[in-house]
Copies of this chain bind each other. A is one copy, B any other.
Amino acid sequence: MIRVSIVGASGYSGVYLIQALSSRPDVSISVITSNSNAGKKLPDFSPLFAKKNPENSLLSEIVFSLFDADLIAGSSDAVFFCLPHNESSKLMPDILKKNKDVKIIDIGADFRFDDLSIYEKYYGKHGAPEMNTDFVYGLSDIFYNKIKNSQFTANPGCYPTGALLPILPLVFKGCIDFSSPVIIDSLSGISGAGRGLKTQNLFCEIENSAKAYNVWSHRHLPEIKEKIEKAFLNSPAKQDKFMPDVIFTPHVIPVSRGILTTVYLKLNEGISRKNIAGIYENFYFGSPFVSILDNIEDCDIKNVVYSNNCHIAFEMREEDGGGSMVKIVSAIDNLGKGASLQAIQNMNLMFGLEPDFGIPQYSPYP
């Protein structure tokens, strides 16, 4: 039995973890924390957990508590952190003092960067810089080998997950002509903004809305960029004179969940459609969650919502013989593959389980 605790369990990703883990026969939930809901049982927190008769679900009796490092350390084999940035890094050391073997999956941003100076430029002072190198970047479908052997995993951001799964395999293989920028244009559901009370997230503001935001300054840009650069420097193309230039534009559209990402890339001369298809096929051979679709119009967030799946499709500019432009589209659920379900995939890997163990396979219809 894997005993798990969830710190910051009352937001969208925390609740999703509770729900997804509760059906696992091999997992028991020990502690769930929420400052604003401490003392509340789940059925009193939300009708999503409405009590049934007889109280057939153990969840009915679980109570949100304040953060208590001792309690968590003593009752957990794994701890998920679902906190705003700069918070998890301050709390982890206390837990580790009491339980040096506890595995940690951080859904927040604190340990996603190799380069702490970039982190601090975008997020402010880091709470536990000495722990930073202990973490592996939890993009499960790519870095599964590292994750399997790690005690600490930094779950990627939602936009980076949707962008890096289609891009990184091509970087590793040296296919991209970086004399042109990599342009990443993403559409996100509103849940990406969390449950915060902002006028701009009201139904009346969003229903007929579509807009770009933080067009040059979104915090997920440096995360995406660092991972592409790192892959580039480990690729056969590392001698090229151009370092990758990454441009990222997030938009919000009127859906609750999902991220659709359209990537514009220039390919090196000689790279054909068949090459790209082959790279993806080889790379994601073995992946239970990444699918390469033939038809770019099928790459639709409705086909991955509420799942841990990532759909990818691409199309090259027909007229081009040589170094062609390619458009690649990916679709994920920002809270599933982009947060909680990828976190569970990471937990599975860290505990030696199959990556897809206990994770739902399909999106609803409709």
Contact = CB atoms under 8 A, between A and B. Distances in A.
Contact of A215 (B16, B49, B302, B327): B327
Interface residues of A, number: 96
A120 to B, nearest CB: 18
B210 A258 contact: yes
A344 B293 CA distance: 31
Nearest to A364: B306
Contact of A54 (B53, B285, B325): B285
A102 interface: no
A187 B253 contact: yes
A203 B364 CA distance: 15
Contact of A301 (B187, B198, B211): B211
B47 A289 contact: no
A97 B208 CA distance: 44
A190 B212 contact: no
Nearest to A10: B365
Nearest to A363: B48
Copies of this subunit: 4
Contacts of A329: 211-212, 215
B50 A293 contact: yes
A247 to B, nearest CB: 6
Contacts of A212: 260, 262, 296-297, 299, 327, 329
Contact of A300 (B15, B211, B361, B366): B211
A84 to B, nearest CB: 18
Interface string A191-230: 1000101110111111111111101110000000000000
Interface stretch (A104-112, A233-241, A310-318): A310-318
A180 interface: yes
A226 B100 CA distance: 65
A272 interface: no
A185 interface: yes
Contact of A19 (B201, B258, B365): B365
A213 B365 contact: no
A309 interface: yes
Contact of A255 (B47, B254, B260, B297): B254
A39 interface: no
A325 B181 contact: yes
Nearest to A281: B53
Contact of A203 (B51, B202, B299): B202
A187 B203 CA distance: 16
A195 B198 CA distance: 11
Contacts of A99: none
A67 interface: no
A366 B257 contact: yes
A286 interface: yes
Contact of A362 (B19, B202, B281, B302): B19
B16 A305 contact: no
Cβ-closest 9 pairs across A and B: A204-B366, A50-B291, A211-B300, A47-B298, A203-B206, A209-B302, A210-B260, A47-B303, A19-B362
18 contacts: A16-B364, A22-B361, A46-B365, A47-B298, A50-B303, A52-B284, A52-B290, A180-B181, A185-B249, A203-B205, A203-B206, A208-B301, A208-B305, A211-B260, A216-B316, A247-B264, A247-B327, A249-B327
